[in-house]
Each structure stands twice: as structure tokens, then as C-alpha cells.
Homo-oligomer: A and B are copies of this chain.
Amino acid sequence: MPAPDPARRNERSRRAILDATRALLAETGYADLTVGAIAARAGAGKQTIYRWWGGKSAVVLDALVDTVAAEGMTLPDSGDLRADLRLVLRATVAEFADPVLSATTRALTIETLIDDELAVQVRDRLLRPQLDAVKDRLRAGQRAGDVRTGVDLDQAVELIFGPLYHRWLLRTGPLTEEYADGLVDLVMTALRRGNGRAADDDERRGS
């Protein structure tokens, strides 16, 4: 069983499969989604799916990446960091509010916990763009003096999204715009300059 040749891959099939996947996801949800159904809907053979993807989860990942990628992944820079972060967090909250998207993310997260390779893919192809966009905005904020220079930006990004995921995972509270705004305020406080020991330490270390 030699590796298939990507150059000979049928683009029409690829698109049909991803489209069918998205359609079925919306109709039946991830749990009731089957590789056979995707193939049938796409007018493709199952083998074509297994030839290019590892299974259901990989196809779904690609289908999602496919749509997300089209959306373009840079944050606006209005000059007001707090306002810009509110925008992105509100958008994320809205995504979680969509039942189909939420269920899909949930299912993909499960697969992520089972399959390490998939986890890497999800992280790098689905989430990284979003995270990096926020990181870029924070870096700009750092240059503008809105964020302390000593702050580790990766850690800052996690500080923003971590609580959100945590609440979503454990359903410990509502995911509303008010929540998003409150979280942004908390995070802004943590990142802003001139406020106490942590900042002093960091800047002393950084100098």
C-alpha cells in the first residue's frame, strides 16, 4: 500500500466531500455522522475518504479549517485594545452559542483527547490562526504601551481564552457578552503596565 500521490488528487471530490461533511454536520450532528453517509452525499467512494483522511474526525477538521481559513484571520486594530479584545471574545462566545458549531467543537475536542496526531492538527490548523491573530494584536498593544513589555504573550493569549474554554467545558456559568466583557476587563488589568509586583519583577528581569 504505497502512499497516494497528492498531485493526482481529484479536487472536485475533495470539495464535494468537505461540503457534504458540513451539510451533514448541520443536519445530523457529529455523533450521527458516518463516513459512509459523507461518501454517499458527496457522490464519492468511501475509499476516497480513507485514502486522503484518517477517518471521520480528520474530515471534519478539514471541513472546519476550510471554512475558517476563508474568513481571514487578523484582528482589527482600532487603537483601543480593550475594545478589540471585546470584539473577538464576543465573537467566540457567539460561536459557542451556535448549537451545531458547539457540538462539533465538543466532538472534535473528544477526538483530540484520544488521538494525539489529531490534537496537533486541530491546534495548528484550526486554533493557531485565531490565537496568533490575538497574539499579534497584543504585540501591537505592547508596542503602544497598553501591555507591559515583560508579559509572555503566549501566556497572555491563554489567559484570555483559557477561562472561556473552561467555562464552556464545565458549563460552570453562562457564556454571554457580559461575561466576555468582564473577562476582558480582568485580563486587561493583568496585562496593563504600572500595577504592582508582578510587573516590577518582570520589568526588572527584562532589563
Contact = CB atoms under 8 A, between A and B. Distances in A.
A161 interface: yes
Contact of A169 (B120, B165, B182, B185): B165
B182 A155 contact: yes
Interface string A163-202: 1111101111100000100110111111010111111011
Contacts of A179: 155
A94 to B, nearest CB: 19
Given A119-B171, A163-B163, A165-B169, A189 B199 contact: yes
A198 B185 contact: yes
B166 A158 contact: yes
A189 to B, nearest CB: 4
Specify how many copies of this chain sit in the oligomer: 4
A159 B186 contact: yes
A158 B169 contact: no
Most buried by B among A120, A162, A194, A201: A162
Contacts of A186: 151, 155-156, 159, 190, 198
27 contacts: A30-B114, A31-B115, A109-B169, A110-B114, A119-B171, A123-B172, A154-B172, A155-B173, A155-B186, A158-B162, A158-B167, A159-B183, A161-B162, A161-B166, A162-B165, A162-B166, A162-B167, A165-B166, A185-B197, A185-B201, A185-B202, A186-B198, A188-B198, A189-B189, A189-B190, A189-B198, A195-B195
